Amino acid sequence: MYCKNVVLIFLFICVFFASEGLCEVKCIDAEGEAIIINNDTPSAKAEAIARAKWAAVEQVVGVEVKAQSIVQNMALIDDAVSKNIRGFVARYKLLQQENRKDTMWVKINACVEPVKAREAISSLALNNSIAVFIPARKPKVVKEFEEKYKTPYSKTQRSGLERKDEYDETNILSETLIGRLTEYGYTIVDVAPTNAVDAREIESAIKSGNFMTMRSLMYKFLSNILIIGSIDYTISTRKGQDIGYGISMPFNNVTVRLTYRIVTRDASGKTNILAADTADGKGMSLNVEDAVANGMKDLAAKLIPVVIDKVGQHVKGIAKKIQIKVTGVNDINTNFEIKDILQNIAWVSNVEDKGIGEFIVSYPENTVYLANSISQKGFQVVSFSPYSITVKYQK
């Protein structure tokens, strides 16, 4: 009787909460391809199927950045994820396969569980990958007018603007910020060109503290850091405005204000606010559009050093110690050579020599990326776990 009640409760949950993805499984067609090495067709077929599975997972999750563009060794990815998350592809059926000279191509129908698929994709997110989305409300002047008239007692002057505001999702501030972060070696994803989210939706998310939009952007762009904000402007004094003593303002004086958050995600997927603040910049010019542009330049000069410092401290703080064991090392010179290779891998901050063929590496990313980088240097990866990698040295 007890088991029957449990089954009924589970069915109830599946019926009424399917929209939450608790019991939902999506079946879609996907393709994969792999190179045939040394006429080993079975291994190429297995790799092609693994790639097709990942293509299906990415379709279900709706990612904008493909895993293949981050890590080329899909066998390492499949191994890394399957150790932590099993069953995100519930089942699959091979529909077609073709031997195309040096490659094996397959087409499968894969049934994917969205919740587990999202977790699988999320585990591949880069800590040095930053998604940036800072839309700006900017003015578009439709009409500018100036009126002068006299009364029996005084002379009056009136000026004003008729404008139609619009959102600019790629603006001076966001482009300058992306450029500077790229110079520091971060992998930057500009969310704006993808139309993944609306500017007003971002403004609402910032004001309300709603993390759903922010979390979905992290999933889509395989990022663990999100810089998100909105820019507005105010005309403090208009050109031609009377500022006292019979003096008219010769320029438009504009204040540009930014509200932003730097949001990160820890290993468990929990969203944390790294920084939340407001900043402003001043700009003057003969026309309002140029005044706003100058204000954004002033804002960028103040804000960017602060953002880079916050992000840099975060990435440095999450670096972990990974033990590297290298087999086939027999002398000191080779050991020094390998240490030099490890020190020149991207995002490796420190390498400690612990003996012949043994090193401790400080690295802020997922271990699979370090294993992949080492394999690209000519080493053969024997095994790896979150805190240790064993490789074979091939001179």
| Distance, CA of 281 to CA of 203 (rounded, Å) | 19
pLDDT of residue 159: 54
Both structure tokens of 121? 């994709």
pLDDT of residue 362: 95
Both structure tokens of 250? 């010769």
Element (H, E) at 363: strand 358-363
DSSP H helices in 62-85: 67-70, 74-84
pLDDT tens-digit series, residues 294-332: 999 999 999 999 999 999 999 988 899 999 999 989 889
Both structure tokens of 370? 């370090």
Q: What is the sign of the dihedral through the CA atoms of 321, 325, 326 and 330?
A: positive
Both structure tokens of 345? 């891998």
Q: What is the DSSP letter of 249?
A: P
Please tell me whether residue 59 adopts helix, strand or coil conformation: helix
Residues 6+ apart with CB under 8 A from 361: 321, 322, 323, 324, 342, 348, 350, 351, 352, 370
Q: What is the sign of the dihedral through the CA atoms of 361, 367, 370 and 375?
A: positive
Phi then psi for 12, rounded to 5 degrees?
-60, -45
pLDDT of residue 138: 79
Largest CA distance in the chain: 103
Please tell me whether residue 319 adopts helix, strand or coil conformation: coil
Residues 6+ apart with CB under 8 A from 92: 49, 52, 53, 56, 108, 109, 110, 111
pLDDT of residue 338: 94
- Amino acid (one-letter) located at 279: A
Q: What is the sign of the dihedral through the CA atoms of 63, 65, 69 and 73?
A: negative
pLDDT of residue 20: 41
pTM of the model: 0.77
Phi then psi for 304, rounded to 5 degrees?
-55, -45
User: CA dihedral in degrees (117, 383, 75, 347; nearest 10)?
Assistant: 80
Phi then psi for 245, rounded to 5 degrees?
60, 30
**Beta strands across the sheet bearing 380-385:** 350-355, 358-363, 320-327, 388-392, 380-385
- Amino acid (one-letter) located at 202: I
Give the angle subtended at the CA of 93 by the CAs of 91 and 98, to the nearest 5°: 140
pLDDT of residue 351: 95
- CATH fold for the domain made of 20-124: Dodecin subunit-like (3.30.1660)
* Ranges of the chain with pLDDT below 70: 1-23, 81-87, 140-163, 195, 197-199, 209-210, 240-248
Q: What is the CATH number of domain 128-317?
A: 3.40.50
Domain boundaries, the chain: 20-124, 128-317, 320-392
Q: What is the CATH number of domain 320-392?
A: 3.30.70.100
In this structure, the number of other CB atoms found within 10 A of the CB of residue 318 comes to 15
